[in-house]
Structure 1
Amino acid sequence: MAITSFKRYEKKFMLTQEQFNHLMPKLKEYMNEDEHSQDGGTYHIYNIYYDNETHDVIRHSISKPYYKEKLRLRSYHVVHQQEETVFLELKKKIDGVVNKRRVVLSLAESQAFLEHGIRPMTKNYMGEQVLNEIEYYLKQNPVQPKVYIAYERFALFGKDDRSIRITFDFNIVSRRHDLSLQKDNYEEKLLKEGMYLMEVKISDAIPIWLTQILSELSIYNSSFSKYGNEYQKYIKEINNRKGSVQVCYNPSYRQQENPLPLLTP
């Protein structure tokens, strides 16, 4: 069992195909493709998000609170065997700072832990700490598998500063049935064809060169939650079936043309 922890800022941007095409040559002056995106290649990410019966987790998250957290099970391939690797992640956001605690388990270990409370065996101190956090979260939040979200990703990292990472997610799809990482069929598209969700992942402020590029191409900071957007569509469908188009919360996606923080020399 392996353990990892990430702490960073994440800035999101919504791109059209045209913006993406113009942006890529400029980014590659400062960035390299990561090991999974060589020669323009992409890779897949599959997630199961956990919530309670009344969707309190995502409803709290899209209210833009000071603190929020969510639990998800992730894999980078369709899982076929119980001993294959998956990632159990507790993602927290505190005043804009993202902290992701992740433990690497087998599918069987993750199911035993999430469904029956059977902790995986580990002699690693950090592993115990991460499992303690997840176990506490599960006791405070009676969550269950709620939605499956998958997408393709292309990723870059900085030539001079590898801590700067930019990802492009597209072909984002979801389903609320067959909530298993062992099945790759899906139904609902969350983004239109030719749209990209770009995320800039940084430990500090966005560097000046990137801010200038985004300004030149009129690419502005946006707010887009994959699970939040899926939940918005889900609620609208329910309301429409009831003869109403009333939505019970503020939309999780909005354009924000606010200034970006600069990394001063």
Structure 2
Amino acid sequence: MQKKLKFRHELKYYVNYHQYYLIRQRLRILMKQDQNANDSGEYHIRSVYFDDIENKALQEKQGGVENRHKYRIRLYNKSDTIIHLEKKIKRNTMIAKEKVAISREVMDRLLVNDYSVLANEESPLLQEVYYEMKNRLLRPKVIVDYIREAYVAKTGNVRITFDKDLRTGLNKIDPFDSDLFPVKALDEPVYILEVKYDEYIPNYIRDGLQLNGLQRQAASKYTICRKFTKANSWEDQ
């Protein structure tokens, strides 16, 4: 039986270094840092995003379609110890995520479009990706690479992150490629602030964030990084 999805609110903002510094100083008092962070309070995320023959995920995001989804493979700190295949789902202003652990071998085969490796998988998500790769020509498109600083609070299940040094792998799709040298994806020296929560943000966190002066943004890291690829053409990789 497939697990019921849990949708959450997700708010995104661009912040400059001064805004980041002030917000971070307040959050360090109010919230706990993510347990997966290193001594600097950060960890590295590298994702390979997929899209189909029509670039559906990209086109729907750019077109402002409210109900949409996208697929990605995600790993942490440039290690293959933990690799997840994920589906991020958006319904109006809410988001949810499905994920399943995969091996390095499965990832490597998917990156060369050998989706037969998923043919006998029991996971509904892996079955779905198999169908999409076979019938809609879902293919790996771009690497999205950044450093994350995360804060968590049990009350309201709040998670606040700063994503820094956003980079793209250009047309490379293997996250372990020795010739992969991600380049900066944003022209301006800004960070992406994301605020995720269930039903509410506790007042003490809301006061600490002081978001009134910030304007909500779409800030899709996938869309930002796709502008460096042949986004509107189909490459049979």
Match of 1:104 among 91, 96, 101: 101
Task: Report matched runs for 1:182-197 at 5 Å.
Answer: 182-183=176-177, 185-192=180-187, 194-197=189-192
- The correspondence of residues 231-242 of structure 1 with structure 2, limited to 5 A, is 231-234=226-229
Residue matched to 1:174: 168
- Structure 2: gaps (5+ residues): none
Q: Which runs of 5+ in 1 are unaligned?
A: 239-265
Q: CA deviation at 1:5?
A: 6.6
Most deviating of 213-222 and 173-182? 213-222
Q: Deviations over 1:104-130 (max 9, x none)?
A: 0111123445523222876xxxx6233
Identify the match of residue 224 of structure 1 among 202, 205, 219. 219
Give the distance between the partners of 1:53 and 1:216, measured in 2 at CA: 39
Code of the aligned partner of 1:195: V
Offset from partner CA, 1:183-239 (integer Å, 9 cap, x none): 363243123464210111111233333333444772232221011122345579x9x
* C-alpha displacement of 1:53: 4.4
Matched residues, percent identical? 23
For 2:49, what is the secondary structure of its paired residue? Answer: strand
Which region of structure 1 is more displaced relative to structure 2, 60-69 or 190-199?
190-199
Q: CA RMSD in A?
A: 3.0
Residue aligning to 1:64: 64
Instruction: Indicate conservation of the 8 Å contact 1:171/1:193, yes or no.
Output: no
CA drift at 1:19: 0.3
**8 Å CA contact 1:146, 1:176 repeated in 2:** no
Is residue 85 of structure 2 the alignment partner of residue 91 of structure 1? no
Select the structure of larger CA radius of gyration: 1
Alpha-carbon separation, structure 2, partners of 1:38 and 1:93: 30
Q: Which amino acid aligns with 2:167?
A: V
Q: Find the counterpart in structure 2 of residue 118 from structure 1.
A: 117
Correspondence for 2:158: 164
Q: Is the 8 A contact 1:16 1:195 kept in 2?
A: yes
User: 2:119·2:130 contact (CA, 8 Å) conserved in 1?
Assistant: no
Deviates more, 1:61-70 or 1:112-121: 112-121
CA distance in structure 1 between the aligned counterparts of 2:98 and 2:230, rounded to whole angstroms: 30
Contact residue 112 and residue 119 of structure 1 kept, 8 A:
no
Deviations 1:58-82 (A, max 9, x none): 11222111211111111113357xx
TM-score, normalisation: structure 2: 0.82
CA 1:116 to 1:9, structure 2 compared with 1: closer, same or farther past 3 Å? same
Would you say how many aligned residue pairs link Structure 1 and Structure 2? Answer: 227
SS at match of 1:71: strand
3-state SS of paired residue (1:118): helix
Does the alignment pair 1:37 with 2:31? no
CA contact (8 A) 2:70 2:87 kept: yes
Pair 136,96 (structure 1): closer, same or farther in 2 beyond 3 Å: farther
